[in-house]
Structure 1
Amino acid sequence: MKNSLAKLTYLFIITLSLLGYLSSYLALILGFIFVLIFNNPYKAYNAKAIHLLLKIAVVGLGFGMFITETLQTTKDGFGLTVFTIILTLSVGIICTKLLKIDLKLGHLITSGTAICGGSAIAAIAPTIKAKPKTISMALVIVFLLNSIALFVFPALGHYFNLTQEQFGLWCAVAIHDTSSVVGATINYGDEALRIATTVKLSRTLWIIPLAIVSLFAFKNSNKKIKFPLFILAFIVAIILNSYHLIPENISNNIVIIAKRLLITTLFLVGTSISIKDIKQTGSKPLILGVLLWICISVFSLIYILN
């Protein structure tokens, strides 16, 4: 009886996420709550489903990106983008070793902080063959810091008297996920929102070289390196959308579906989390996430102010 109820509840939550009724945070939390109450009835398929849906969702998000527009709008922020990505990745590598954290977990947390939160983790995870539990921990840390950013950044922006342009650029660089970037800037002003969204979108393009570097860095010496086809598909999606080779309404719907698939994936990821896993992971991954977040926030703010 309990197993049947678990299956019905599981499928009900999946349906809600696919229909767009759940936010990313809620989906992840529901997944976590689900495994506290029930045993996952589809645990055997969970890992494969997570990796497949992550790849499909990342490719779908490419249909919402425009190469020319993002490159043109972010010319002034190019230097800051390169500087903060290199800085964050470097500090992340050092801190991961000093804190003696699992290399794949440290890399996912670092990648999410350096580029674009959950989307970066989604893209990088398959290339390094990260386990669902590892992905879960990285996402939990990134989403926790995202939630804090929604309240902290606007207050700091007003405290430092940042202009809309400065605040938009700062949020795009220092806040992990696009949704949180929009949430933090939407009440600061229209110009802040526009700049933040555009710069964040262009920053997402750095997923591609980072994913390729990650593939080589975490390769199995006993196997040949294969270029991940989903990255190639991601590039093709951006090109198709940039040159309007498919109708706009179709590309918009693809992006909507991709976001819903990503939310569905987050529920599956949540079902991979357990209290036991969190205790085993310890506080070190959270410390890494906080250190990286403070690093990128402080240095980018100093860069912008000067």
Structure 2
Amino acid sequence: MLHLTKPLQNQSAAGASGSTVTTLLSLLPGLALAGGIAASAMAFRALTGIQALSPLILSIVIGMLIGNLRRPPVACRPGIGFSMKRLLRLGIILLGLQITLAQLVSLGLPGLAVVTVTLTVTFAAVTLAGRLLGVDRGLTGLIAAGTSVCGASAVIAANAVVRGRDEDVTYAVACVTIFGSFSMLLFPLLMLPLHLDAVAYGLWSGATIHEVAQVVAATFQAGDVAGQYGTIAKLARVMLLAPLVLTLALTLFRARSTGSAKTGATPFPWFVLGFLAMVGLNSSVALPPALVQDAGLLGTFLLSCGLAAMGLQTHMKQLAAEGLRPLALGAFGWLFISGFGYLMVRLAGF
């Protein structure tokens, strides 16, 4: 009997191993396509030297161009799906290594209050405006997250609990990209008319502009002090991404129950705990700067892969079907966070 069991166990192990290899091989075409797009986007920014060109945005644009000109082969679908789910979440986790608690503390209580209150009130205002405009609930949540927190990264993270369609994610990313770019171009021109010194301007920009790259581009034009305050304020918003996603999972987008049965159950965003763990690690251990930099590049690459995959699956006709109301919602969010953030900076005494 013993002699019969061992061959069966060996066959079972061999079968499991063969299945794993087959699964990995099925992912390769899609991973190669998404990875190639992401690498091209990162290389383009490096070659041009234009730091405001986010690889995340470039990746989704390139993916959409390719996907609309010619749909990816069926063989690419498993890898594209893997990129949209697993790689995106791993990229969010690695984002935590770019933040330390000491950076947040350096803003001081007034600065942290500006960032936190602006984020919270903006999210609530955009959510309410979305209802009044009749915008789909999921798309409203994504635009609200992207506007109030940190652009494309927040849209990606929030979608883990919002569970919007690929078109919703793409539309939300487009909104935060367009209006964040407006801020990047206009804010430097408003510094003097609004009577903002370097600290106040950096804090205002970091608390209101959508993407990290856009904040860097807008604030360092006003000098190193403005750039440093802008970057730290922006990282504080990124840190608040974790509690926002957890709150969404437990409140607005929690599982709905019908009697004893649950419908539309929202999965718990475990990757957020990984994000917080990386923040804790980076705050408690002096990690080598080269390691942190490499982790940042890897995180950007993984996020770009996911957005490239999303772009490949998004078609312009489906985006056009959303209409102009979501765009109006994005415009409202942009104007609201810009104005309310400025008011908060003034009330805080900056």
TM-score, normalised to structure 1, is 0.90
Answering whether residue 98 of structure 2 is matched by residue 64 of structure 1, we say yes
> Which of 93, 98, 103 is equivalent to 2:127?
93
Contact conserved, 2:84 with 2:310, CA < 8 A, in 1? yes
Mapped contact 1:47–1:131 kept (Cα < 8 A): no
Match of residue 37 from structure 1:
69
1:208 is aligned to 2:242: yes
Code of the residue aligned with 1:220 in structure 2: it is: A
Provide, for residues 218-244 of structure 1, a one-character-per-residue CA deviation record: whole Å limited to 9, x for no partner. Answer: 123316665322111111111111112
Residues 174, 90 of structure 1: CA spacing in aligned structure 2 closer, same or farther, 3 A cutoff?
same
User: Matched residue of 2:134: which SS?
Assistant: coil
TM-score, with length taken from structure 2: 0.79
**Which amino acid is 1:143 matched to?**
T
Distance in 1 between the 2:189 and 2:174 partners? 24
Can you give the 5+ residue segments of structure 2 that lack an aligned partner in the other structure?
A: 1-27, 45-54, 257-261
- Deviation string 1:240-262 (CA, Å, 9 cap, x unpaired) is 11112654432321111001111
1:128 is aligned to 162
Superimposed CA distance per residue, residues 253-302 of structure 1 (whole angstroms, 9 cap, x where no aligned partner): 11110011112222222223222112111111110011011011112213
Superposed, 1:22-171 pairs within 5 Å as 22=44, 23-41=55-73, 42-43=76-77, 45-171=79-205
- Over alpha carbons, which structure has the higher Rg? 2
Aligned partner of 2:255 in structure 1 is 220
Q: More deviation in 259-268 or 186-195?
A: 259-268
Please say if residues 81 and 203 of structure 1, whose CA atoms lie closer than 8 Å, have aligned partners that are also in contact: yes
Structure 1: tracts of 5 or more residues without a match: 1-6
Structure 1 position 156, deviation (Å): 1.5
- Verify the 8 A CA contact 1:18 1:261 in the aligned structure 2: no
Q: Quick one: distance in 2 between partners of 1:227 and 1:253?
A: 29
8 Å Cα contact 2:161-2:269 kept in structure 1 = yes
Tell me what 2:296 maps to.
255
Alpha-carbon distance in 2 for matches of 1:25, 1:97:
27
- Counterpart pick for 1:197 among 223, 231, 235: 231
The ranges of structure 1 where at least 4 consecutive aligned residues each deviate by more than 3 angstroms after the TM superposition are 7-13, 43-48, 223-227, 245-248
Distance 1:206 1:137 in 2: 23
Cα 1:90–1:32 change in 2 (3 A) is: same
CA-to-partner distance for each residue in 1:106-149, whole Å, 9 max, x for gaps?
00100111111112112111122222222111111111112222
Cα distance 1:47–1:133, how it changes in 2: closer, same or farther (>3 A)? farther
SS of 1:29's equivalent in the other structure is: helix
Q: Partner of 1:40: helix, strand, or coil?
A: coil
Q: RMSD value over aligned CA atoms? A: 2.3
Q: Which residue of 2 aligns with 1:17?
A: 38
**Aligned residue number for residue 4 of structure 1:** none
2:323 corresponds to: 282
- Partner amino acid, structure 2, of 1:152: L
Distance 1:12-1:21 versus aligned 2 partners, 3 A rule: farther
DSSP 3-state at the match of 1:75: helix
Alignment partner, residue 271 of structure 2: 230
Secondary structure in 1 matching 2:321: helix
1:33-77, CA deviations, whole angstroms, 9 ceiling, x for partnerless residues? Answer: 112211122346534421222210010111111012222324221
Aligned counterpart, 2:305: 264
Q: Counterpart of 1:69 in 2: which secondary structure?
A: helix
Equivalent residues of 1:154, 1:185 under 8 A apart: yes
Which piece of structure 1 moves more, 84-93 or 109-118? Answer: 84-93
The one-letter amino acid paired with 1:14 is G
